[in-house]
Structure 1
Amino acid sequence: MTSFISHLTVDCSDAYSLSQWWKPVLGYEDVPGDPNLPGHEECMIVDPAGKGVSVLFVEVPEGKSVKNRLHLDLRPRTDLRDTEVERVIAHGATVQGDHRGKYGPGTGWVTFADPEGNEFCVLRSEAEAEVAAQSAPTEAADA
């Protein structure tokens, strides 16, 4: 028997604010019939299409102190990676590292932090990765 991922839990200091920040980044919404409100210590957001993993923000007393051992890798649904990078920067994400071109032209990712310092990366879109794979089959798959 195996297990599946029910949802991803993010420890934070303000569950409501962080859930509100992530909703437009992911295109997610509150659980239907269970809205997140200021003061809630747990706030879940879900993919309205039902295809993505739900994210639960849970308030904890301690702050983030070191690099995450687990982080989200985001792939743009429709836009190009560089367009998505600019969108999340405009939304308030902080660039932690720019690794675009790491494996050659058009490859790589950008590492960000959300308002509470949780790291996440923006990868190339599936279309960009597919074009690169056709032109350079030895290239890293996620880069």
Structure 2
Amino acid sequence: MWSVTFQNDRRRTASYKTEKGALKAIWKWLKVNEGHAVFLAPEAEPKVFTDSEELPFSEPTELDFYSSGKWLRVRAKAFELYNNSCACCGDTPSRGAILHVDHIKPRSQYPELALDIENLQILCEACNKGKSNLSEKKWR
């Protein structure tokens, strides 16, 4: 078990199951707080961190878009609005289809439309792969 004490004008201690989880928590905390964090690892001397740059983490990457709360909310809304079937071939999960929420105008070319519900459609995995990010075909 790894332990971290976060210290600024207040003091808080938290436990973590993994070393990486503890270090990532320190990194996130130091990004937004003034102060220091004391890292306690099993059978090791305590280590004090005062700057997020001391840790081996960086800002979230583009891949994190699909796990963001904003994307997950708009994705759920797209399924509600556009039904639970492929807009291209009509396949459904009850027939074994894996459904994706597709960006009609690709995120790579239109990042400003990434969370625009009007730029989304439901496609099965096969149709989505066939469309790729080169097409702007609107099936719905």
When normalised by structure 2's length, the TM-score is 0.24
Q: Which has the higher contact order (CA 8 A, sep 6+)?
A: 1
Which structure: larger Rg?
2
